[in-house]
Structure 1
Amino acid sequence: MSRQALAVGCLVAAALLVILFRGSGSRPAERLRGLGTGQVGVPVAGRAHPPWWPDRTRLGAGLAGLAVAVLLGGASGCLAGAVTALVADPLLRRIEPRAARDRRLREAADLPLAADLLAAALRAGAPVDRAVLAVTDALDGPLAERLGRIGRTLLLGGGPEEAWAHLGSVPGADRMITAAVRSANSGAALAGALTRVADDLRADRSTAAEAAARRAGVLIVLPLGLCFLPAFILAGLVPVIVAVLGDVL
């Protein structure tokens, strides 16, 4: 087998490991499941690995470095492969897995509805912990899991900062957390603040959608320009230049 074929095989294996399997057995996912069951730190059955076992991202970076080393060969190839592996590892970790991205988008989309439902439950006279648990039963998806942890924490006597911190990683939830903590500390009505937060979140989402549509219109012009500009030069300018040069010469 040639060096080029082996290098290509290593690159393909690295891409498959990182793209297809990255995050499937991640430790953060296990910690999230542990929070829901009350068994934080307990590994999921069948997913435990020894301490020396490398994660898939690091293994993919190592295979990419091996491919570079095999492709170049010699001492320079080994050095380039080591540098490639060291650089590829942090770069690959910046790529958000698809499951995490889908979860983040789903949570951000459900947050305004959750704020409205929570405000309605509070106006009906339910305490905050019971209202949060009622919204958890009404919703479905990853945001409902976070709200369930908030409700259980409040029901068991946890502080508002500790409970609402479960929403800390949800995009746009900082205003909801601030309103809830302020209400718990000062006794101010939370329902009105949640309604305003829901309206602000919907307005921000509409503004972001309009901005994305405008960016798409600008980006569409680029490939059209790249296609029409060479055609204009070949069909419009080149014949004129050739005719002028023919008359001059």
Structure 2
Amino acid sequence: MAVPARHPRRPGLPGGWPAAGAGGPRLDRGHRGWGVPAVSTAALLPVVAVAAATWLLVPARPLPTARRAPPTWSAHVPEEGWLRRGRWLWAGLAGAAVWGWLGGPLGLLLAPVAGLGVWWLAAQSESARQRRRHALASAQLPHLVALLAATLRSGAAVETGLGLVCDALPGEAADRLSAVRARIAVGIDPGDAWGGVATDPVLGALGRTLSRSHRTGAAAADAVASLGEELAAARRAQAEDRARAVGVKAALPLGLCLLPSFILLGIVPTVAGLVTMVLRT
């Protein structure tokens, strides 16, 4: 039995290789397309995944001579969690996975797109510690702003009132404001110092209010007091929303817990009674 040594050219099929041998069975050499890179990529993915997990889970030891960097003035210093820290690695794994799965020109085209998308998502992520700190600072800020408004209405300057407030209500929000106070103390213009925290997710509203007050020359006491009332109202609304969300989130678990008892006490006796009635008749 002879195997055809060459198949006719068809759309999407390459022509067969020349026949090997003479007088015996003729065999074609298999055509190799984009499958070899895909197999190599699939074989390397587990190794790269294990190396990535080891690098992320095992903390690196700092050098004995390494010194901690001095704190910066910015109130918003992003912290890198394990997802953000390994964003280049996740991007490479995503691109390799897409290329190994699809292969061919389509895989080469979509692999960079997948890598960039994963890198952007990982870069936008926040660590759990950073989210807790933001939540704590947001909870403390309304009380701190209300106390700052009271000190300003009593006649104290903004810098003096800020120092009194930070000493009276220590915490995450006070620590962030202390950076601004230190920046003003070394001679930085207050408008520039407060404008530097205008984009902060927690202190942004206070920074914009005091920067605008310094730039226009308007009294800061009334603006800060109005901001304190707005922050307190927003905080109460958030607490009410969370309280209402608890009932919605608890409906499904409670329903699942009550479902077995409903079946045993309501449905099973009814079905048993109907079966007994049918058997008697």
Deviation at 1:97, TM superposition (A): 1.3
Quick check: which one's helix share is greater? 1
Structure 1 range deviating more: 146-155 or 212-221: 146-155
Given the alignment of the two structures, is residue 34 of structure 1 paired with residue 72 of structure 2, yes or no? yes
* 1:94/1:178 CA distance change after superposition, 3 Å: closer
Quick check: 127-136 or 98-107, which moved more?
A: 127-136
Structure 1 unaligned spans of 5+? 22-29, 37-53
Matches of 1:178 and 1:68, distance apart in 2: 45
TM-score, structure 1 normalization: 0.61
> Cα distance 1:17–1:65, how it changes in 2: closer, same or farther (>3 A)?
farther
Partner-residue secondary structure (3-state), 2:125: coil
Cα deviation for residue 33 of structure 1 reads 2.7
Which range moves more in the overlay, 9-18 or 184-193?
A: 9-18
The 1-side partners of 2:209 and 2:69 are apart by 27
Cα–Cα, structure 1 residues 206 and 171, in superposed 2: closer, same or farther, change >3 Å? farther
In the alignment, which residue of structure 1 is the partner of 2:219? 189
Q: How far did residue 206 of structure 1 move?
A: 1.4
> What residue in structure 2 maps to residue 115 of structure 1?
145
- The verdict on how the C-alpha distance between 1:166 and 1:111 changes in structure 2, with shifts beyond 3 A counting, is farther
CA contact (8 A) 2:45 2:97 kept: yes
Change in CA separation of 1:131 and 1:144 when aligned onto 2, cut-off 3 Å: same
Q: Distance in 2 between matches of 1:133 and 1:110?
A: 16
Larger CA deviation: 98-107 vs 118-127: 118-127
- TM-superposed CA distance for 1:214, in Å, is 0.9
* C-alpha RMSD of the superposition: 4.6
Shift of 1:202: 1.8
Distance 2:111 2:248 in 1: 39
Q: Are the equivalent residues in 1 in contact too, given 2:191–2:215 (CA < 8 A)?
A: no
**1:205 Cα deviation from its structure 2 partner:** 0.9
**How far apart, CA to CA, are the structure 2 residues paired with 1:152 and 1:174?**
18
- Alignment partner, residue 39 of structure 1: none
Number of aligned residue pairs: give it: 217
What is the match of residue 206 of structure 2? 176
Going from structure 1 to structure 2, the CA distance change for 1:68 and 1:148 (only over 3 Å counts) comes to: same
1:137-193 deviations in Å (ceiling 9; x for gaps)? 444344334323322443455444422124324446444334323432444332233
Deviates further, 190-199 or 214-223: 190-199
1:212 corresponding residue in structure 2: 242
- Give the distance between the partners of 2:196 and 2:168, measured in 1 at CA: 18
Aligned-pair distance for 1:83? 5.7
Q: 2:180 aligns with which of 124, 134, 150?
A: 150
Q: Which runs of 5+ in 2 are unaligned?
A: 1-40, 60-67, 75-83
Which whole-Å CA distance do the structure 1 matches of 2:115 and 2:204 have between them? 37
Aligned equivalent of 1:221, options 248, 251, 265? 251
Instruction: Give the deviation of 1:211 after TM superposition.
Output: 0.7
Code of the aligned partner of 1:33? P
Q: 1:186 to 1:7 in 2, by over 3 A?
A: closer
Matches within 5 A, 1:63-82: 63=93, 65-66=95-96
Q: Which residue type is aligned with residue 115 of structure 2? A: A
Shift of 1:10: 4.5
Contact 1:11–1:67, Cα closer than 8 Å, also in 2: no
Flag the 1:149–1:34 CA change in 2: closer, same or farther, 3 A.
closer
In the superposition, relative to structure 1, how do residues 229 and 11 fare at CA in structure 2: closer, same or farther (>3 Å)? farther
Q: TM-score w.r.t. structure 2 length?
A: 0.56
SS in 2 for 1:126: coil
